[in-house]
Structure 1
Amino acid sequence: MLWQLDGAPGVKYQLVIFDFDGTLADSFPWAASVVNQYAERYRFKRIDPAEHAELRNYDARRLMRHLGVRMWRVPGMARDVRKRMAQEIDKIHLFPGTSNMLQALADAGVLLAVVSSNSEENVRAVLGPENVARFTLFKCGASVFGKAPKLKAVMKKCRVTPEATLLIGDEIRDAHAAQKVGMAFGAVAWGYTNPEALQSLHPQEFFTEMSDIAAKVVGRSGA
């Protein structure tokens, strides 16, 4: 179904919700550089860089089993990593083309939101003031498997139905969260998870380049 938003014909979704890390922000190189520093404290297996390609095929639960991460340790580790990122936020950058893409969506009247496991402070710092102003809502600090309630909260606040909403993310757990609340999922090819693993989930949208997002959602390249 196509929606008419602010006089812009052919807009496919009223609300687009973004994951942050691996979708808008290129934070994987930083995360890969620090993760083993937490292995001893949180008692999980150190990651051999040679494993990265294979681990990109795993969903979060399988990855945690592989590394021996205990679920009850995850909240504490997540807080430590978010705090560390805040201290080194200058090392995290948006993927090329992100700002233009967000502007194209905003210009078409699409509502924008972020649902992330990262902190709102970190998300806002990396986005910068101009991009932050394009968003209607931020729901951050989600637990590893706790995005679905935040997705529902965003839709309720924006008064948009699941059928008119798209979640864009780079992980298998993003696809599962979208499915759980009945919204469409758009997978990106440039994030953490192997694109083939994401395509096997049959997402409603698949984006190989950042400019594809605006092209498919509002019919503009956003380049």
Structure 2
Amino acid sequence: MTPPYALVIFDFDGTLADSWRMMGRAMAEAADQFGYRRLEEVDVAALRGQDNRVVMAALGVKMWQLPRIVQHMRRVAMERADQIALFAGVDDLLRRLRGAGVRIAVVSSNGEAVIRQVLGPELSGLVDDFACGAALFGKASKFRRVVRRAGIDPARAVGVGDEGRDIEAASAAAIASVAVTWGYATRDLLASKSPTHIVDSVHELTTMLVGP
């Protein structure tokens, strides 16, 4: 099978790695420090997959506080990177993409050092481009930059993510999108963003990108 895309741009948290438990604990621990509501004080199920602005409003986070909170969370992620695990099958997916000659990129609001630590030396070496520290409210500019650096026709690139903002950013960058349902957002919310594809397992994603 000839891979349908020459460049695959992955989100990290909730797409390649299961970081929600660690980050959720860190958010709860920081609530008193920054003065926002604890997760147990809000309807987490109702917020699942909502736009970050909606989540911040529900938690009572002020926009002026956001840079300090983001900086704090990135520092905690670095300290606790050993608590973040890749989803089962991600290692095989990355190896098969590289074996098929597909370029791989990671665009994430998380830090590159954290991502490299979680991936480990071998898998990090399979990634052609890291565009990290992406804004919480938009990744489109990072997507465009990665596509440009790769020298790939945007029609041959695809963004893979678990949040509505990932799908919106791919659309804004004029590339295809794959919504994955094992991360943060619900399947219904992802479907409402009209992704090019929607998949329910890493195995299904692998089959779509490189064949069975």
The question of whether the paired residues in 2 share the 8 Å contact of 1:75 and 1:143 is answered with: no
For 1:18-29, list aligned pairs within 5 A. Answer: 18-29=10-21
* Matches of 2:104 and 2:199, distance apart in 1: 17
Query: Which residue in the other structure is 1:83 paired with?
Result: 75
1:116 aligns to 2:114 (yes or no): no
Query: Which residue in the other structure is 1:191 paired with?
Result: 183
Cα drift, residue 126 of structure 1? 0.2
Query: Which residue in the other structure is 2:23 paired with?
Result: 31
Query: Which residue in the other structure is 1:178 paired with?
Result: 170
1:168 aligned to which of 160, 183, 187 = 160
Q: CA RMSD in A?
A: 1.4
For 1:63-102, list aligned pairs within 5 A. Answer: 63-102=55-94
Identity of paired residues, percent? Answer: 38
* Matches of 2:41 and 2:99, distance apart in 1: 41
* Matches of 1:187 and 1:122, distance apart in 2: 23
* Matches of 1:109 and 1:35, distance apart in 2: 39
* Matches of 2:41 and 2:191, distance apart in 1: 24
* Matches of 2:23 and 2:140, distance apart in 1: 24
Moved over 3 A (4+): none
> Structure 2 length normalisation: TM-score?
0.95
Residue-pair matches, total: 212
1:59 aligns to 2:47 (yes or no): no
The change in CA–CA distance for 1:171 and 1:57 in structure 2 (over 3 A counts) is: closer
Gaps of 5+ in 2: none
1:144 aligns to 2:136 (yes or no): yes
Cα drift, residue 29 of structure 1? 0.8
* Matches of 2:53 and 2:172, distance apart in 1: 17
> Structure 1 length normalisation: TM-score?
0.90
Cα drift, residue 49 of structure 1? 7.2
* Matches of 2:102 and 2:49, distance apart in 1: 32
Gaps of 5+ in 1: 1-8
Cα drift, residue 74 of structure 1? 1.6
